[in-house]
């Protein structure tokens, strides 16, 4: 589904990713771990097409096409979703209108008619309950005045509504208490199919107790320095990242 | 040159005085003569004046305009233009066509509750005692050549008199339509008197249906007696070569409540001069504005709030979206006089520039002589939020629709303050059309008309479900 080869990325001339390689297949859950400032969020930004990131070398192939040639919205329409580390507040744009607009853009891309109001409401109701999101939040402006936990649950709620092929969850666990973490994990797990894939970016092993990865990668200094199964996460938790740096 | 226009105006005035003054009581004639002398002395405002520094009239005053001293007999299908069936919103429509009251055969209407509305010229004949009491009492404070010229020249306009204690009153829509194959210089004079504890909702529309360059210089005086409540909505949709100077004077007695909106959808040059005198304790003025400009358009909102008495509140919110080379001005002057203790006065002006060639001049000005007051002001100029744009696009929403969502969200803060639901929906439609670049100059503000196109369906669904 996603093949990243020798990816080099700079921000304002400073190299952040230095030859990153990663292959994600349909049906897999990958976790990228690593200390702060190693390029984890940069990777998420480059995959989703945020401005200000210069790819100096390498390639990103998604579903057989050059992903880097597409705009942010085209990537989203082709099934890429980012759960933001810091979800943005958008005063004046209601969650309902935002989601309905997004869903209709996806449907238009697939050549479908806009979603019927009843169908939309039923879907929203179902996913809202899954993520235990209060009814009133859906009528409020996007993320405006949401608590930290509500914002993170709202990201997964949007993911549930848009049903992406490749979901990237950037530090979705940060700022969540254990109950909220379980809700978020339950949401992510319930969306898992053999046709989609998830890339979880996290600092701590804690989230991986609930979203169990097939592969764990350690990112350090802009490169993946070690990959393994889910047991690698436990090892990291026990020994810390310094253990790998010494290797 | 402007001087050419001034000379033309002088000559025409002398030649047509007998027609202009036709129905006037002697006192009004004297006021007009004095106003004309003032105009000759004050002249048109220029950029040398602080209050006109950023609105240059020179270019539009250089054009040649025609003046009409009596209504031109035209074949107009007024029924087609104005006939409306309003299923959920009961309004009374009165109209000016090219500056003249439309219903010449029925110039004044008296409603069952005693309200009188109709032609200003006719009211001058029929109700001179009411006119004399209020005419030019509030506008004269503003020393400005254009106001003087209006006082001297204006022959017709709208007259509304709401007696004391008239409640649950129909909304009145005054629609000024320009539609002549001619460059018109139009001067209307409106007088609105709202009695003790009465309520009035007034929608004031300026529309042009032609593609000619016109210059409209309107003065509206609104007197609010004790306990009166007025909701005033100005909607402006003019072609790109038409100029509109709209001066509105609100005089508020004690315990009055004013809500005012100035919504500028389109127009070549628009200047809204809004002057509010809070001249009685316990009064409140809510003053809002929204301007959407592009191309070479220019909108200037000049708000002066005079807190003359204690215990009053004023609250200003003006927002603008500017594209291309358009320009906008916001000038908000709050005066709190020495005796006006316990004043609350707030002012906010926010602008979004979509192009680096657009400019906005915002000038808040607080002049406070009392010591027990709460005042605040703020002006911001920015672009659409990049982070929000990326967030929206990351959900698959196109750049175009993402911009629309953010622009609409920005404008909605003003629209959401409109409390009459059908009016809010109509204005909402017009704003969405404007943001999509699909507003036509024939889109009137007339509400929910039978013969109008169906209510606009917004592509990115904004409906409340």
* Domains of chain B by residue range: 2-384
Alpha carbon distance B84, B87 (integer Å): 9
**With contact defined as beta carbons under 8 Å apart, do A168 and A201 qualify?**
yes
Reading the block at residue A197, the tokens are: 């894939």
Residue A65: burial class (beta carbons within 10 Å; 0-12, 13-18, 19+): exposed
pLDDT at B143 (0 to 100): 83
**For residue A187, what is the enclosing H or E element?**
helix A178-190
d(CA B230, CA B224): 8
- Least CA distance to A78: which residue of chain B? B396
Closest among B275, B99, B123, B269 to B188, alpha carbons compared: B99
Q: Which chain A residue is nearest to residue B460, measuring alpha carbons?
A: A101
Question: Does the structure show a pLDDT above 70 at B443?
Answer: no
Q: How confident is the model at residue B77 (pLDDT cuts 50, 70, 90)?
A: low
Q: What is the pLDDT of residue A54?
A: 95
Q: Is the dihedral of CA B6, B11, B12, B17 positive or negative?
A: positive
- The pLDDT of residue B464 is 33
Residues B111-146 have pLDDT tens digits of 888 999 999 999 999 999 999 999 999 998 778 999
Confidence at residue B445, expressed as pLDDT on a 0 to 100 scale: 53
B336's enclosing H/E stretch is strand B327-336
Whether the pLDDT of residue B450 is over 50: the answer is no
What does the mean pLDDT of chain B come to?
88
Q: What is the pLDDT of residue B383?
A: 93
B189: which strand partners?
B219
Number of CB atoms found within 10 A of residue A241's CB = 17
Per-residue pLDDT at B334 exceeds 70: yes
pLDDT for B86 beyond 60? no
B116/B449: higher pLDDT: B116
**A158: contact with B, CB 8 A cutoff:** yes
Average pLDDT over residues A33-55: 92
Other C-beta atoms closer than 10 Å to the C-beta of B385 total 17
CB contact under 8 A, B386 and A51: yes
pLDDT at B19 over 70: yes
Least confident of B6-15, B167-176, B260-269, B410-419: B167-176
- Using the Cβ of A110 and the Cβ atoms of chain B, whether some distance falls under 8 Å is answered with no
Q: What percent of chain B has pLDDT over 90?
A: 71
Interface test with A, best of B290, B383, B394, B459 (most A CBs within 10 A): B394
pLDDT at position A106: 97
| Helix, coil or strand: residue A189 | helix
Q: Are B343 and B374 in contact (CB under 8 A)?
A: yes
Question: Which pLDDT does position B462 carry in this prediction?
Answer: 36
Chain B residues touching residue A82 (CB < 8 angstroms):
394
Of the listed ranges A205-219, B162-176, B257-271, the least confidently predicted one is B162-176
Token duo for residue A143: 């993320």
User: Residues B331-360: what's their mean pLDDT?
Assistant: 96
Cβ pair A15, A8 in contact under 8 A: yes
What's the pLDDT at B441? 62
Q: Give yes or no for residue B452 having a pLDDT over 70.
A: no
Average pLDDT of chain A is 92
Tokens of A154: 């709202």
pLDDT at residue A242 above 80?
A: no
Reported confidence tier of residue B437, pLDDT bands at 50, 70, 90:
confident
What is the reported pLDDT for B423? 84
Q: Summarize chain B as % helix, strand, coil (round to 5).
A: 25, 35, 40
User: Residue B178 — very low, low, confident or very high, per pLDDT cuts 50/70/90?
Assistant: confident
Looking at CA atoms only, how far is residue A214 from chain B in angstroms?
26
Answer yes or no: do A92 and B395 touch at CB < 8 A.
no
Extract the tokens encoding B60.
Answer: 């539009």
Query: Is B370 a residue whose pLDDT tops 50?
Result: yes
Q: What is the helix, strand, coil percentage profile of chain A, to 5?
A: 40, 30, 30
* A97 vs B: CB within 8 A: yes
Q: Which residues of B248-272 are buried (b: 16+ CB within 10 A; e: fewer)?
A: bbbbbbbbbbbbbbbbbbbbbbbbb
For A224-228, B47-51, B77-81, B344-348, which range has the lowest pLDDT when averaged over its residues?
B77-81
pLDDT of residue B1: 54
Instruction: Give the model's pLDDT for residue B96.
Output: 87
- Better-predicted residue by pLDDT, B32 or B87: B32
Mutate to test the interface with A, among B395, B399, B459 (most CBs of A within 10 A): B395
- The domain that holds A16 is classified in CATH as 3.40.50.300
Residue predicted with more confidence, B449 or B192: B192
Q: Estimate to the nearest angstrom the gap between the alpha carbon of B43 and the chain centroid.
A: 23
Domain of A18 in residue numbering reads as 2-246
Strands B327-336, B298-307: pairing kind: parallel
Q: Which residues of B touch A158 (CB under 8 A)?
A: 395
A87·B391 Cβ contact <8 A: yes
Mean local confidence (pLDDT), A214-220: 93
The SS3 of residue B133 is helix
Closest CA–CA distance from residue A135 to any residue of chain B (Å): 13
CA angle A110, A112, A115 (to 5 degrees): 120
pLDDT at B463 over 60: no
Rounded Cα–Cα distance for residues B119 and B95 (Å): 9
Helix B145-153 to helix B2-20 angle (10° resolution) is: 30
Report helix, strand or coil for A27.
Answer: coil
Section A99-110 average pLDDT: 95
- pLDDT average, residue stretch B15-42: 91
Between the alpha carbon of residue B52 and those of residues B49, B275, B331, the distances in Å are 5, 15, 10
Cα separation, B449 vs B399, in Å, equals 34
pLDDT above 70 (res A246): no
Identify the residue whose tokens are 């990325």.
A9
Q: Is the pLDDT of residue B312 over 80?
A: yes
As a whole number of angstroms, the distance between CA B300 and CA A189 comes to 56
Say yes or no: B397 contacts chain A, CB-CB below 8 A: yes
Residue B194 pLDDT exceeds 80: yes
The partner residue sitting opposite B393, judged by closest CB among A73, A89, A120, is A73
Q: What is the mean pLDDT of residues B312-319?
A: 98
Of B87 and B31, the structure prediction assigns the larger pLDDT to B31
Distance CA A65, CA A26 (A): 15
Pairwise CB contact (< 8 Å): A90 & B461:
no
- Model ipTM value: 0.96
Quick count: other Cβ atoms within 10 Å of Cβ B69?
15
Q: Between vectors from CA B450 to CA B448 and to CA B452, what angle results, nearest 5°?
A: 75
Contact residues on chain B for A92, CB-CB shorter than 8 A: 406, 408-410, 412-413
Angle at B370 between CA B364 and CA B374, to 5 degrees: 55
B457 contacts on A by Cβ (under 8 Å): none
Cβ contacts of A101 on chain B, cutoff 8 Å: 397, 401, 405, 460-461
* Element of type H or E holding B5: helix B2-20
Q: Among the listed ranges A17-21, B23-27, B216-220, B301-305, which one has the minimum average pLDDT value? A: B23-27
A193, A197, A201, A207 alpha-carbon torsion, rounded to 10°:
20
Q: In angstroms, rounded to a whole number, what is the distance separating the alpha carbons of residues B94 and B109?
A: 10
- DSSP class of residue A68 equals G
Range list of H helices, B86-126: 120-126
């Amino acid at each position: 589904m996603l093949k990243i080869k020798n990816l080099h990325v700079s921000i304002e001339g400073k190299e952040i990713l230095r030859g990153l390689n990663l292959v994600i297949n349909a049906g897999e859950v990958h976790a990228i771990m690593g200390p702060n400032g190693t390029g984890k969020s940069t990777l998420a930004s480059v995959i989703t097409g945020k401005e200000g990131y210069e790819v100096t070398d390498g390639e990103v192939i998604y579903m057989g096409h050059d992903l880097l040639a597409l705009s942010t919205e085209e990537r989203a329409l082709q099934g890429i979703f980012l759960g933001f580390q810091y979800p943005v507040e958008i005063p004046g744009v209601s969650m309902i209108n935002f989601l309905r607009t997004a869903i209709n853009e996806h449907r238009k891309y697939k050549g479908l008619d806009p979603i019927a109001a009843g169908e939309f409401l039923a879907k929203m109701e179902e996913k809202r309950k899954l993520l235990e999101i209060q009814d009133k939040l859906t009528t409020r402006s996007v993320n405006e005045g949401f608590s930290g936990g509500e914002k993170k649950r709202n990201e997964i709620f949007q993911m549930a509504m848009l049903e992406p092929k490749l979901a990237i969850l950037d530090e979705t666990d940060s700022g969540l208490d254990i109950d909220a973490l379980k809700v978020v994990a339950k949401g992510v797990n319930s969306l898992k199919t053999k046709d989609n894939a998830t890339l979880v970016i996290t600092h701590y092993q804690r989230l991986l107790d609930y979203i169990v990865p097939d592969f764990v990668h350690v990112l350090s200094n802009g490169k993946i320095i070690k990959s393994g199964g889910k047991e690698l996460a436990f090892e990291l938790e026990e020994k810390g990242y310094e253990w790998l740096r010494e290797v | 040159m402007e001087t050419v226009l001034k000379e033309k105006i002088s000559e025409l005035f002398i030649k047509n005085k007998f027609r202009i003054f036709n129905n006037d009581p002697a006192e009004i004639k004297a006021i007009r003569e004095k106003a004309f002398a003032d105009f000759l002395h004050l002249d048109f405002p220029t950029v040398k004046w602080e209050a006109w520094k950023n609105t240059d009239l020179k270019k539009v005053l250089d054009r040649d305009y025609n003046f009409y001293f009596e209504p031109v007999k035209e074949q107009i299908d007024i029924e087609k233009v104005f006939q409306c069936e309003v299923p959920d919103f009961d309004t009374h429509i009165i109209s000016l066509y090219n500056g003249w009251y439309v219903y010449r055969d029925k110039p004044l209407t008296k409603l069952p509750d005693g309200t009188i509305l109709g032609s200003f010229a006719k009211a001058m004949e029929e109700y001179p005692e009411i006119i004399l009491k209020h005419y030019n009492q509030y506008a004269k404070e503003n020393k400005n050549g254009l106001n003087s010229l209006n006082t001297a020249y204006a022959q017709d306009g709208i007259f509304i008199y709401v007696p004391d204690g008239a409640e649950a009153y129909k909304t009145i829509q005054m629609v000024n339509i320009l539609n002549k194959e001619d460059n018109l210089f139009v001067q209307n004079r409106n007088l609105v008197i709202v009695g003790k504890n009465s309520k009035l909702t007034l929608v004031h529309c300026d529309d042009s249906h032609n593609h000619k360059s016109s210059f409209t210089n309107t003065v509206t005086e609104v007197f609010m007696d004790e306990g009166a409540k007025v909701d005033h909505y100005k909607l402006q949709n003019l072609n790109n070569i038409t100029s509109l100077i709209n001066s509105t004077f609100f005089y508020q007695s004690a315990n009055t409540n004013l809500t005012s909106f100035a919504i500028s959808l389109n127009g070549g040059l628009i200047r809204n001069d809004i002057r509010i005198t809070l001249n009685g304790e316990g009064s409140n003025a809510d003053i809002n504005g929204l301007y959407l400009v592009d191309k070479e358009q220019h909108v200037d909102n000049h708000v002066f709030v005079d807190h003359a008495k204690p215990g009053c509140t004023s609250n200003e919110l003006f927002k603008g979206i500017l594209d291309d080379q358009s320009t906008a001005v916001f000038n908000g002057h709050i005066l709190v006089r020495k005796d006006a203790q316990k004043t609350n006065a707030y002012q906010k002006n926010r602008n979004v520039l979509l192009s680096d060639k657009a400019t906005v001049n915002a000038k808040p000005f607080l002049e406070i002589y009392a010591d027990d007051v709460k005042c605040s002001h703020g002006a911001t100029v920015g672009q659409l939020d990049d982070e929000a744009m990326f967030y929206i696009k990351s959900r698959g929403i196109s750049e175009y629709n993402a911009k629309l969502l953010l622009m609409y969200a920005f404008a909605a803060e003003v629209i959401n303050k409109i409390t009459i639901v059908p009016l809010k929906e109509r204005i909402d439609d017009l704003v969405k059309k404007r943001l999509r670049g699909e507003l036509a100059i024939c889109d009137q503000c007339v509400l929910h008309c039978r013969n109008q196109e169906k209510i606009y369906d917004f592509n990115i669904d904004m409906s409340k479900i």
